[in-house]
Structure 1
């Protein structure tokens, strides 16, 4: 658990409040970012809102056939007031007309996306059979131009299609659920201000060395063997050595501190944030390590010192990086073979 007084940050509107303030275009862009988080099977997600969109704001395609194959329609409605049944029914009519006129096949699912829904619309969408009956009754009396400008045969085709359609395909989406799912997208951290999170307690190294430590530990063994010759040629001898043993303990603590940061980043943010820290440290560490040193010990100490003072790129993860993490990242880089302490041919 983080210790010390909490960091103070100026008030920022919540992500939900920010979304409520979006104009219709920005809201559609937000929905386009969110949709891929729902269905990994989507081949492509396109924003189609605008003039001549035939009632499609964001289309998510389940196959390469696009609008001729299975697809889902995400209908975005960003109004000052909650989305009501009257407006939703008009969009449903538009969708059926689009199918009858051959603009696309009937979507597999039709999702209404809005910051808020009127109670009447939520109730209607929760009772698909009753709502289909209500829709068909209203269809016969509607003055909606999308229907009245059709020929009699086309109007009949719309009614038949609606009668054959399972209205369970029409569903609302909850804004809180949307925001939780949007957090898993790369766009979250650029769209919304990050809140201060609680970093879990730093992992302690286990008594026994694990296989995930093998490469960086082997490099440390070479460092000790090169400096102290045969006195510290094994892990058992290192543990008994007054300097090498304590040094190994500190390096393992650093490695697991960085591992804690890696897991925190994995769970709290989209992919890539810990790797960005790794790349920042490597950029400086590799240049320091390329200098001439008499011993691998000297190279290791110089790299660790440089990592402790170097600047990190300002990302949402940077505020959580501690000095011990920086040292640990060096050992993660050694574990991946990106940093080496002893010259080739040095002590084994």
Structure 2
């Protein structure tokens, strides 16, 4: 038997599988984070989690204005059901919701989202056929004489008339896939599920360096000034033979800048840690005396590109120029210099 062959271990659970492991409290917290991501995106002005005794069926609310008048807010019903949610399992919550709107406990929301781990086909079909849904809950109310177990209320003529006029199309299923798609856009997705979304395109490199590039560009100008034996205080003064090299270094910087922006939005702090890891990895070359700055820069970039940074979660989103680009970010922060003052 080949001793070098070993089992890589079990596959990590998917986000969908991780959701099944959540308890009631964690499930509501997950739904709240999804709603808060929508707040970040400008959908809501305020998000409130009310789940608990006395919430009147409002587990999480997303408000688009300070005073929640009719159709200006969304209600997320986020009970953690142990089984697939059927119409009968949902009936007490639906009856409570209709009663609360009828009695003025709160205004009618724009959307009522059923957020359950598993919604059965029968309940799903009812949400797609509002008239059948309405007829069904009225029949249930009469057959149960208003006793839904966890909610009890007599169906008066006034309440029945209200339900008959109610727009049942506001009641919708928010699937786990829908919620995960929202959550994946937040900076908590890695923390909760260990999954990073796809990386967006790198920022476009401007024709001329901006003020935010000043420090690392200055370090490069010192390299070209030394190599060409000419005064080089501006990019326009770079000798022709080094202009393509300068452009390629800026491309590396913007590659790493794309990774920085991805980290800032999805995994705060990870890019800073990566830059520190690169600083340690290239430390020997960075501090070793080289004959000139260009040689030093070339050696440091080569070492950086060969580093293994698998301990950092961003390693799964690295692109070709990222590790080399972090060296220019080090220079931009004053932590790396290519031409030593005593050379």
TM-score of the two chains, using structure 2 as the length reference = 0.71
Work out whether 1:238 is the aligned partner of 2:236.
Answer: no
Superposed displacement of residue 97, structure 1: 1.7
**1:194-234 per-position Cα deviation (integer Å, ceiling 9, x unaligned):** 37x9989x99x99xx83357744454224422564327777
Check conservation: 1:281, 1:310, Cα contact below 8 A.
no
Check conservation: 1:94, 1:146, Cα contact below 8 A.
no
Question: Where do residues 138-149 of structure 1 align in structure 2 (5 Å cutoff)?
Answer: 138-145=140-147
Question: Where do residues 157-168 of structure 1 align in structure 2 (5 Å cutoff)?
Answer: 157-168=158-169
Matched residue, 1:346 = none
Question: Where do residues 276-287 of structure 1 align in structure 2 (5 Å cutoff)?
Answer: 276-277=272-273, 280=276
For residues 311 and 50 of structure 1, the distance between their equivalents in structure 2, rounded to whole angstroms, comes to 48
Contiguous gaps of at least 5 residues in structure 2: 1-7
For residues 334 and 310 of structure 2, the distance between their equivalents in structure 1, rounded to whole angstroms, comes to 20
* Structure 1 residues 103 and 301: alpha-carbon distance in aligned structure 2, compared to 1, 3 A threshold: same
Q: Please, which moves more after superposition, 182-191 or 229-238? A: 229-238
Q: Over the residues paired in the alignment, what is the CA RMSD in angstroms?
A: 4.8
Give SS of 2:113's match. Answer: strand
Superposed displacement of residue 42, structure 1: 0.9
Superposed displacement of residue 124, structure 1: 1.0
Superposed displacement of residue 83, structure 1: 0.7
For residues 64 and 223 of structure 1, the distance between their equivalents in structure 2, rounded to whole angstroms, comes to 57
**Match for 1:254 among 252, 255, 264?**
252
Superposed displacement of residue 140, structure 1: 2.9
Superposed displacement of residue 167, structure 1: 0.4
Matched residue, 1:108 = 110
Superposed displacement of residue 235, structure 1: 6.0
Matched residue, 1:328 = 325
Give SS of 1:211's match. Answer: coil
**1:151-170 per-position Cα deviation (integer Å, ceiling 9, x unaligned):** 77xx3443232122110011
Question: Where do residues 175-254 of structure 1 align in structure 2 (5 Å cutoff)?
Answer: 175-194=176-195, 210-212=207-209, 215=214, 216-217=216-217, 219-226=219-226, 228-230=228-230, 238-240=239-241, 248=246, 251-252=249-250, 254=252
TM-score of the two chains, using structure 1 as the length reference = 0.70
Give SS of 1:104's match. Answer: coil
